[in-house]
């Protein structure tokens, strides 16, 4: 059966909350048993890539940073070790936040804020961030068996609410190409940079297994009513 035009991927259990609740419950138990923080999505190099970009562009250390779908919170720990002070991580899985709290405690990073929150329905206080980071969360939403296309649109709308105008959005994806992500985030965002990722060669063609992009939220244009004021 062919997929609908707006559903580029087959639905998967990887797009369900139940899967991630179960996965992080296992990782939480493993951490409590042997102290293993669990899987780092896209590997350590993905975290290094993000931190290098922030440092290269001299992003102030007190910039507010939101990790969307923080999982075990290891990215936030690495950001804190690099000197960033205003860090928040959210995840819709309570087990993920329990795990990230344990990791935060182990690393002595009490300044990292963590909360259970669904990014597709963000609370009012989740706003005004200078930087938003996504490593795999948009990918997972894109696999949701229940209206993935609608949830992708909700994601973009939520990003527009929580990220400041001219704020930066760094996304790492293994499902989407650069061109596809440009299309997904065309409303309200513009591409700044494509970050280098490992390349592979198959059948004489060279490609990337991972796409990493930096977007900037466009300035909010004043309305006619604002001009009349």
pLDDT digits (tens, 9 = 90+) for 169-208: 999 998 899 999 999 999 999 999 999 887 644 444 445 5
Question: Using CA atoms, how far apart are residues 157 and 119, in angstroms rounded to an integer?
Answer: 10
Tokens 């609410």 belong to 161
- pLDDT tens by residue, 94-116: 999 999 999 999 999 999 999 99
CATH of span 13-165: 3.40.50.150
Angle at 192 between CA 226 and CA 179, to 5 degrees: 105
Residue 208: strand, helix, or coil: strand
Residue 61's pLDDT band, with cuts at 50, 70 and 90, is very high
Q: Are 63 and 82 in contact (CB under 8 A)?
A: no
Rounded Cα gap, residues 11 and 17, in angstroms: 13
- How many whole angstroms separate alpha carbon 83 and alpha carbon 78? 9
Q: How far apart are CA 214 and CA 190, in angstroms?
A: 9
């Amino acid at each position: 059966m062919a997929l609908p035009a707006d559903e580029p991927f087959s639905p998967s259990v990887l797009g369900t909350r139940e899967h991630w609740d179960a996965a992080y419950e296992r990782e939480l138990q493993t951490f409590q048993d042997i102290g293993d923080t669990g899987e780092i999505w896209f590997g350590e190099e993905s975290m290094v890539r993000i931190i290098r970009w922030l440092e290269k562009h001299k992003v102030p250390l007190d910039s507010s940073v939101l990790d969307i779908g923080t999982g075990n919170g290891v990215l936030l720990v690495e950001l804190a070790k690099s000197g960033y002070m205003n860090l928040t991580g959210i995840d819709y899985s309570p087990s993920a936040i329990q795990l990230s709290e344990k990791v935060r405690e182990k690393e002595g990073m009490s300044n990292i804020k963590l909360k259970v929150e669904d990014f597709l329905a963000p609370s009012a206080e989740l706003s005004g961030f200078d930087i938003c980071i996504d490593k795999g969360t948009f990918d997972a939403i894109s696999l949701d068996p229940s209206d993935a296309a609608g949830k992708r649109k909700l994601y973009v709308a939520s990003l527009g609410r929580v990220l400041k105008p001219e704020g930066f959005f760094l996304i790492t994806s293994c499902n989407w190409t650069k061109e596809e992500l440009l299309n997904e985030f065309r409303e309200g965002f513009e591409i700044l940079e494509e970050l280098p990722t490992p390349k592979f060669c198959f059948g004489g063609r060279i490609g990337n297994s991972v796409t990493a992009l930096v977007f900037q939220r466009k300035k909010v244009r004043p309305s006619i009513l604002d001009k009349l004021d």
